[in-house]
Structure 1
Amino acid sequence: MSPIGETTPALASREALRLAHERAALMPDCLVEARRVANSVISGWHGRRKRGIGENFWQFRPYAEGESLSRIDWRRSARDDHTYVRDREWEAAHTILLHADLTPSMRYRSRMSNTSKEARALVLMLALAETLSRSGERIGVPGLLEPQASRQAAERIAAALSHAGALPALPQVAGVRSTADLILLGDFLDNPADTVARLKPLAHRGVRGHLVEIADPAEESFPYTGRTEFVDPETGKSLTAGRADSIAEDYRRAYEARRETLGTEMRRLGWNFITHRTDRPASEPLTQLHLLLSGGGLATHEVRS
């Protein structure tokens, strides 16, 4: 949306193209940083494993009548009076969908942080794709890329995002299957009720969700004093405060109330809610998501980083 004047289709199209070009310019550095973060955190995530067809040994178990004799491990069976079958491991590829909010509000960066919310969301998205693809998971982006098991998942996502136009704050959810995990990265500054209304149908269908709220430290602490002009990056509307410090406490209460409401509603849906500040290492939410995706259980409270 153009920040000045009334929006027209032509202005909106040019603005979307400009944002897409700037996003594309971010991609090389974000991809390099994503690989660095992924390599520093995890040497390889294990897939969802169970007994089945595969190449790696899983376990020995007693032979059951009717099974093929070719499955018997005679060397192991010779050790005692039982006949054993050598099971192999099947690494069950799981579908994980990634979505980053890349709307204008995510471009904010204060002097308290070295990176914008948008850049951090992209790094986390690409680091997740890089790490999950190593264990054979099927990675996709709703409305942009169909899930696919590929070691080049991060590169595929970076290329697709570089050529994509305007993207919504929340993804298209019609094609999301109930067996998938959905990871959403954004600032979630919209009315929590609207966010919950969009996501509740997915939770009721059985989709497992993980929200990572990305915040600039200034958005939490509100360090402004004196006469300050605030501009909404989404609409271009501005508000001038004669003494910004006089509204600081009310702002912080409203900010925390929005966050607490969203976190509570997500937990009611059985989803996870993580908060992350851009002045903190990107490795922190990546590690937390690893734990959750590896079966570490649902968050019972807000996880902060």
Structure 2
Amino acid sequence: MVAFQQAVQGRIVDKTETGDALARARQRAALIPDCMVEAKRIANTVIAGWHGRRKRGMGENFWQFRPYAEGESLAGIDWRRSARDDHLYIRDREWEAAHTIWLWADLSPSMLYKSRFGSVSKESRALVLMLALAEVLARSGERIGCPGVMEPIAARNAAERLATALIHAPETTGLPDAGFPRTDMIRNASDIVLIGDFLDEAETIMAGIAPLARRGLRGHVVEIADPAEQDFPYAGRTEFIDPESGEKLVSGRAESIRDDYRRAYFLRRDALSDNLRRLGWSFTPHLTDRLASEALVKLHMHLSGAPQLGKGGGA
């Protein structure tokens, strides 16, 4: 029953050895340069310049004209706009200030999975999304950090520096057995983007996220899934292996549990999505057979405070 529950949670991997921690670190180091190239390509397809906070303040970009109020500085009057009618107008600029955004991707063994239905592994897609988002944010002047890997920096080459830091990062940078990064170094109210497969029960995941929300962190969760984990295309005698515990489940007729599996899978996702939204956090499901730019655009809009997008099943 325990093994079945783990399979229902979606921990499905091909029967292959994952190797020791050193081998995984070397594999990640070899993967990151290609991910960086892909991340830059994807970032170039997304509108850069998301820097304003949609409020009045110090900045260079025009935001709005508004009627002049008695007592305000005459230096703020836009005389060209005021000349159009009998009223004086103030030219407001959009507030622009560097904001700290923490980016984290789950690099645990379950993220290595790739079926024949996915374009890339979950780990590869998570790295590309994190680095592409870092590239977009760096162009906008934001401060980028990665918990346990890199302190926040505001630099045009922040994505490259993050990639280098990831190559040299220790295999484990999160909390033991929690599946979340250490956040004790995050002192101020910031945004945090968590990218992973989040295959545990919704209650377990929320137990790790709720303390972050109580600290004032504004969060964004991206669930990376292989199409096989969502659709369960298996039939006949199939062996499922949990890559983190090593437990196995052998099904003589895998198709017989497909409906129960999919029902449990989507109930878990819906529960996670609903709980996150109640905290004011965003939730973006993403399949590895879709374009990475789709998830990047959604993240970009959530971070910029754009109206909530319609729900999508991983599109």
Q: Taking structure 1 as the reference length, what is the TM-score of the superposition?
A: 0.84
**CA gap 1:59/1:275 in 2 versus in 1, 3 angstroms:** closer
188, 206, 210: which is aligned to 1:196? 206
Report the counterpart of residue 284 of structure 2 in structure 1. Answer: 274
User: What is the correspondence of 1:1-305 to structure 2 with a 5 Å cutoff?
Assistant: 15-48=20-53, 50-54=55-59, 62=68, 65=71, 71=75, 79=83, 90-167=95-172, 168=174, 169-177=179-187, 179-298=189-308, 304-305=314-315
Q: Which moved more, 1:160-169 or 1:116-125?
A: 160-169
Alpha-carbon shift at residue 175 of structure 1 (Å): 3.1
Whether the 8 Å CA contact 1:263–1:302 is kept in 2: the answer is no
Higher mean C-alpha displacement, 230-239 vs 130-139: 230-239
Deviation of the 1:31 alpha carbon: 0.5
| CA-CA distance at 1:222 after TM superposition | 0.8
* Distance change in 2, residues 1:97/1:258 (3 Å): same
3-state SS, counterpart of residue 257 of structure 2: helix
Shift of 1:205: 2.6
Q: Percent identity?
A: 59
Match of 2:234, SS state, is coil
- 1:215-236 per-residue CA deviation (whole Å, 9 max, x = no partner) reads 0000011111111111111122
Structure 1: unaligned runs, 5 residues or longer: 1-13
Cα distance change, pair 223–135 in 1 and its aligned pair in 2 (3 A): same
- 1:258-296, CA deviations, whole angstroms, 9 ceiling, x for partnerless residues? 212211211221211111100000011111111111211
Higher strand share: 1
CA contact (8 A) 2:236 2:254 kept: yes
- Please say if residues 271 and 298 of structure 1, whose CA atoms lie closer than 8 Å, have aligned partners that are also in contact: no
By how many angstroms is 1:252 displaced? Answer: 1.4
Contact 2:105–2:195 (CA under 8 A) maintained in structure 1: yes
Aligned equivalents of 2:141, 2:308: Cα separation in 1: 23
Amino acid at match of 1:122: L
SS in 2 for 1:304: coil
Moved more, 218-227 or 54-63: 54-63
Offset at 1:176? 2.9
Residue number in structure 1 paired with 2:15? none
- With over 3 angstroms needed to count, the CA separation of the structure-2 counterparts of 1:65 and 1:256, relative to structure 1, is closer
- Equivalent residues of 1:273, 1:303 under 8 A apart: no
In structure 2, do the counterparts of structure 1 residues 111 and 171 end up closer, same or farther at CA, with 3 Å as the change threshold?
Answer: same
The farther-off stretch of 84-93 and 278-287 is 84-93
CA RMSD of aligned residues (A): 2.7
Deviations 1:244-267 (A, max 9, x none): 112222221221122122112112
Distance 1:268 1:55 in 2: 35
Structure 2: gaps (5+ residues): 1-18
In 1, distance between residues paired with 2:310 and 2:63? 33
Counterpart CA distance in 2 for 1:229 and 1:16 is 24
Distance in 1 (CA, whole Å) between partners of 2:208 and 2:197 is 16
Residues 129-161 of structure 1 show CA distances to partners (whole Å, capped at 9, x for unaligned) of 001111111111112212221111111111111
Partner SS state of residue 44, structure 2: helix
Structure 1 pair 263–302 and aligned structure 2 pair: CA distance change class (3 A): farther
TM-score w.r.t. the length of structure 2 is 0.82
